[in-house]
Amino acid sequence: MEIIHVSAECYPVAKAGGLGDVVGALPKYQCKAGHIAKVVMPMYRTKFLYENEWTVDFKGSANLGNWFFEYTIIKEATNKLGFDLFLVDINGLLDRQKIYGYDDDTERFTAFQIAVVSWMNSWEHQPDVVHCHDHHTGLIPFMMQYCYDFSRLQGVPTVFTIHNGQYQGWMGWDKSRYIPRWDLWKRGMLDWADNINPLASGVKCATKVTTVSWSYMLELRYNSNGLEKLFEFEQGKCVGILNGIDNEVWDPKTDKYLTHHFSAKEVTKGKQQNKKVLCEQFGLNPGKPLFVFIGRLVGEKAADILPDAIMSSIHHTQGQANFLILGSGDTQVEWQFQQMIAPFQGMFNAVIGYDETLSHKMYAGADFLLMPSRVEPCGLNQMYAMRYGTVPIVRSTGGLQDTVVDMGDTDGFGIRFNEASIYDVDYSIGRAVSVYADQKHMEKMRKHMMQIDHSWESTVDEYTQVYASLK
Ligand code: ADP
Ligand code: GLC
């Protein structure tokens, strides 16, 4: 099958979070399974762009409302990622340093979607499926079906994957002029609560909808930032497929970012070596359990409760634990973490920012990974942690609930709690400190986790089945 993935992120080209990881890996494994999977994304000014070779594949033009623009589709020349990668260049609009966060993001991503659809409409053949990811690509199923200029694509099936239902890309109806000539009777297919809602439109117009875990699929019906009724109504075409992880990128035996490699067999020694390096770098004590948090410092991840929960744990465990934070986001949370560095020197440190190398070192060197998320559609961090023998401490929600079994249950290896509260996090850290004292038990859990298979190889089939059901 020929599958066209359309996304705002794709690792290693541009990544802000798990969406990038998924779109950088799923197509590669689809190609390995015999499909022709391709990725189309905006051309940002990233390191990857300057370090690789490109050929011009297509030049076209389109309109965003009254604004006429030209776009160029460039293709990575060497199949470096294991699939064909196409970037859409729209001069002045997409070619910026960051992926998101500009005042004109609505215009940027709407123009991007128009360019992608207009380009696909010019092809002599038709792909088997267009697979869109998150709200930045949510208008594509509508445009393919109801825009007169793209009528050649009308019969092409679409899949819309929701990685995060909290962000929906709302825009006022005044912006409907951006969408190329469309069937006005279909206004309802764009609308939710008197706004154009690209995420809702994607759900309404795509042939099939998937989310990135089974539990999140159910959760969306009672917690989806206003779209609960829509998910209730559309449940017949929605499927939950748990994300996989790229075992080639995330492998403690070969990881290019690690100084000490290890397999499940020598996990205790391997982790201790990595922990030592990390602790030396951040002034922590390798003799104590090391707890880490890696991620966006936002409400969804419940990062706001961590400063108090950590201080409370340091108090309750009488300094028997180390903590290391890596992330950026809410300035208030960033500030709180920075304020904790000096008073808790030797047991707490934080790096505010984004650092791919350090994240790998932390998965490898930590004993426990904290994920108190309020919302977690899938969560990749806990799966990376498991692959590196790090015990995940998670709130029971979404994909965390689907991947982590509490150590008190049969074959358990992690720690689960119910509330995103200081008390629950503090209590769970207490449980972790106790189990850490039993190194034999720790080793057993580590070995067990490292053998769990979350590879894309075993997940690709589930997407193939979805595509096959579209005809
Ligand atoms: P989300 O996509 O909601 O942020 P996921 O758990 O799916 O959460 O994926 C997060 C991805 O981003 C992981 O690969 C994680 O290692 C990475 N990540 C998040 N924050 C940082 C950071 N500050 N530095 C490096 N990597 C990060
Ligand atoms: C989103 C979700 C995260 C998920 C990722 C990849 O960013 O917040 O839980 O793992 O997408 O699907």
> Is residue 471 over pLDDT 90?
no
Which DSSP string corresponds to 38-83?
Answer: EEEEE----HHHHHS-EEEEEEEEEEETTEEEEEEEEEETT-TTSS
Domain assignment present for 385 = yes
Q: Are residues 175 and 311 in the same domain?
A: no
* CA neighbor of 363 nearest in space, from 341, 390, 339: 390
pLDDT tens string 395-429:
999 999 999 999 999 999 999 999 999 999 999 99
Taking the centre of ligand 2 as the mean of its atom positions, its distance from the CA of residue 49, in whole angstroms, is 24
458: how many CB neighbours lie within 10 A of its CB?
12
Domain that holds residue 52: 2-244+457-468
| Cβ atoms < 10 Å from Cβ of 451 | 10
Number of domains in the chain: 2
Residue 289 CA: distances (Å) to CA of 36, 171, 222, 273 = 46, 47, 37, 14
**Residue 362 domain flag:** yes
Looking at residue 340, its pLDDT comes to 98
- 282 and 224, same structural domain? no
Is residue 355 domain-shared with residue 461, that is, in the same domain?
no
Q: Kindly state if the Cβ of 19 falls inside 6 Å of ligand 2.
A: yes
- The pTM of this model reads 0.96
* Ligand 2 within 6 A of CB of 394: no
Instruction: Kindly write down the DSSP assignment for every residue of 366-378, as one continuous string.
Output: -SEEEE--S--SS
Write down the pLDDT at residue 325. Answer: 98
Residue 353 pLDDT > 90, yes or no?
Answer: yes
Task: Kindly report the CATH number assigned to the domain that includes residue 342.
Answer: 3.40.50.2000
Which-ligand-closest: CA of 165? 2
CA distance 104 to 108: 6
Tell me if residue 465 falls in helix, strand or coil. helix
> Is 251 within a domain?
no
Q: Is 458's pLDDT higher than 90?
A: no
Q: CA separation (Å) from 103 to 109, 355, 440?
A: 12, 25, 53
Crossing angle, helix 356-365 and helix 267-282, to 10 degrees? 130
- Cβ of 13 closer than 6 Å to ligand 2, yes or no, is no
pLDDT score, position 160: 98
Phi, psi of 9 (to 5 degrees): -135, 155
Neighbours of 220 (CB within 10 A): 26
* Structure-token pair, residue 213: 């875990």
Q: What is the tens place of the pLDDT at every residue in 8-22?
A: 999 999 999 999 999
